[in-house]
Amino acid sequence: MKLSKTEEQLMKYLWKLEKAFMKDLLEEYPEPKPATTTVATLLKRMADKGFVAYTLYGKSREYYPLVEKTTYFSTHVNSLIKNFFNNSASQFASFFTSETNLSTAELEELRKIVDQEIEKKKK
């Protein structure tokens, strides 16, 4: 299941805070801040989708993520590779490295990361 853009933004705040009450989440937003009812609606939808849960303290709810950030984004990257790059990671890498204006230093850092991953998989 997927989050909308506004749900994804709220989820980023929740991942950052790990656990948060409504007031904590509202503080994360830049001005102009959304209405409390808007954030409450987003949290309800996210809970219905299985991304968020909460612990009840009297009338207050402390929200926490049920899905890890890396799990969420790896699912979407894998879907992107499958749907737009014929399930070819090398096509994706080629597009990513040629179309994103990476500096030489960033490309070298990517090469280092890939080389380290290759070494791990050889063991």
Residue type, 12: K
29-55 tens-digit pLDDT: 999 999 999 999 999 999 999 999 999
Domain ranges of the chain: 5-65, 69-122
pTM: 0.73
Tell me the fold of 5-65. Arc Repressor Mutant, subunit A (1.10.10)
Question: Does the structure show a pLDDT above 90 at 123?
Answer: no
User: What distance in Å separates the CA atoms of residue 12 and residue 75, rounded to the nearest whole number?
Assistant: 16
